[in-house]
Structures are given as structure tokens and as C-alpha cells.
Amino acid sequence: DPKIIQKPKYLVAVTGSEKILICEQYLGHNAMYWYRQSAKKPLEFMFSYSYQKLMDNQTASSRFQPQSSKKNHLDLQITALKPDDSATYFCASSQGLGGSYEQYFGPGTRLTVL
Amino acid sequence: GEQVEQRPPHLSVPEGDSAVIICTYTDSATAYFYWYKQEPGAGLQLLMSVFSNVDRKEEQGLTVLLNKKDKQLSLNLTAAHPGDSAVYFCVGYGGSGNKLIFGTGTLLSVKP
């Protein structure tokens, strides 16, 4: 059974709209993350959460808002979508924060903004 | 901030041969290193983690070497098989900013 679930797998949106990417982990981890993989850049860190609290935000735009309704959920709301937001978004989790804790990744949500 | 350069970007080897991927990092304070594998349309699978107090680690046909003096990390897949075909990422953690810094990836093709 998949331990980290991301929904949907594929998402197509129009410019200016809003979408929510879902992530649930069943590893019992306390830290969760979002990463973005686009054609033009290496995989890049966006956010980290620990015990449902935002710990680090490396995203310049406030259009990206993580939401944690439960300890094992970390959704990503993206507003006012732009074509440059097209990318695959990966959710990850780890037992704790810090480099000694290995991060495990979900299968990703591929977002295309037209 | 930390940067991780990875080479080669593409690597093709016959089945049974070895494949070597090399990464160079910039921040000597980087304390943790990882190798991930990404198959087409899939997420990232953690292959191995290496802490900076280790020079060499071997697991299941994979060998990771860490040269802190040259700030270089390598992954050697011995006796590669077609199922090893994927994109491989080296990743650093620590140094400037507590987050994973990904290399640019190496697309490995293993020909039967």
C-alpha cells in the first residue's frame, strides 16, 4: 500500500484559477514538506512543517499556501495560477526535522496551467 | 547558498557494466548526503543516505564514496541491469539552510 498519497496525479488548470493539491502520509511521521520539479530547474524545496507548524518557507510568492488540517496531512493551495506554476509537485515526510531524518517522497501531482 | 553539481547528465551503459555518477557540492558544512532514484512518472525513491563522518558505504550493489577534501560524492552501480534505468539525484542537506539541495540529475540508461 502506498505510504504517501498525493491527489490528484494530474491536474490541468486555467490561468488565474485556484487549485488544492492533497497530500496524506501513513508513515507516522511528524514532519512534512513540499517540493517542486519543473522542466527548467532542479527539484526545489518549498515548505517544511513539523507537528503541523510551518518551519521554513522558501517560496517567494504568497500564492502558495500550505494547509495542515491533521498531523498526517499537508495540502498545498495555489491561487491566481500562472503558466510558470506548471510543474510536478512532490510531498515528502520524515520522522523529524533535520538531515539525520530521511525524507520519503510521494508520487507527485503534475500540474499544467494553460 | 549550497549548490550541487552532478555529472554526467546522461549515461548509457550495457547490462552488467558499472555506472558512476559524480556530484560536487560547494558548502563544506553540508553534513548529510542522499541518493534518490526517479523512474518515469514516479516519485523519488531513497536509495542511500550517507553522513559526513563516513567515507564509503555499500548497500545492495551500490557504493557511495564521499571525498570531503574535494567536496565530491559519487555513486557506483555495479553490474547494472535494465531495471536500474532511471534518473538519479544526489542531494545534500545542511550547510546554509536546513533543507534538501538537489543535484540536476543523471539519466541512466542500461541497455540489455
Which pLDDT belongs to residue B97? 65
pLDDT-derived band at B40 (thresholds 50, 70, 90) equals confident
Q: Which residues of B touch A48 (CB under 8 A)?
A: 99
Is A43 within 8 Å of B32 when comparing Cβ atoms? no
CA A18, CA A113: separation in Å to the nearest integer?
10
Which pLDDT belongs to residue B58? 95
Q: Which residues of B touch A107 (CB under 8 A)?
A: 42-43
In Å, how far is A104's CA from the nearest CA of chain B? 7
- DSSP secondary structure letter of residue B41: T
Q: Residues B9, B104: contact at Cβ < 8 Å?
A: yes
pLDDT-derived band at B82 (thresholds 50, 70, 90) equals very high
Which pLDDT belongs to residue B96? 61
Q: How large is the average pLDDT for residues B61-75?
A: 95
CA A14, CA A11: separation in Å to the nearest integer?
10
Q: Which residues of A35-64 are buried (b: 16+ CB within 10 A; e: fewer)?
A: bbbeeeebbbbbbbbbeeeeebbebeeeeb
Indicate if the pLDDT at residue A89 is higher than 90.
yes
Query: What share of chain B in percent tops pLDDT 70?
Result: 97
Q: Rounded mean pLDDT of chain A?
A: 94
Of the partner residues B36, B93, B102, the one whose CB lies closest to the CB of residue A99: B93
The pLDDT tens digits for A40-85 are 788 999 999 999 999 999 888 999 999 999 999 999 999 999 999 9
Nearest to B106 by CA among B17, B43, B12, B30: B12
Q: Rounded mean pLDDT of chain B?
A: 92
Q: Which residues contact B53 (CB under 8 A, 6 or more apart)?
A: none
Indicate if the pLDDT at residue B63 is higher than 90.
yes
Q: Which residues of B touch A105 (CB under 8 A)?
A: 36, 43-46
Show which residues on chain A lie within 8 Å of chain B, measured between beta carbons. 4, 35, 42-45, 48, 56, 58, 90, 92, 97-100, 102-108
The pLDDT tens digits for A1-36 are 679 999 999 999 999 999 999 999 999 999 999 999
Which pLDDT belongs to residue B95? 65
- DSSP secondary structure letter of residue A73: B
Q: How large is the average pLDDT for residues A85-113?
A: 95
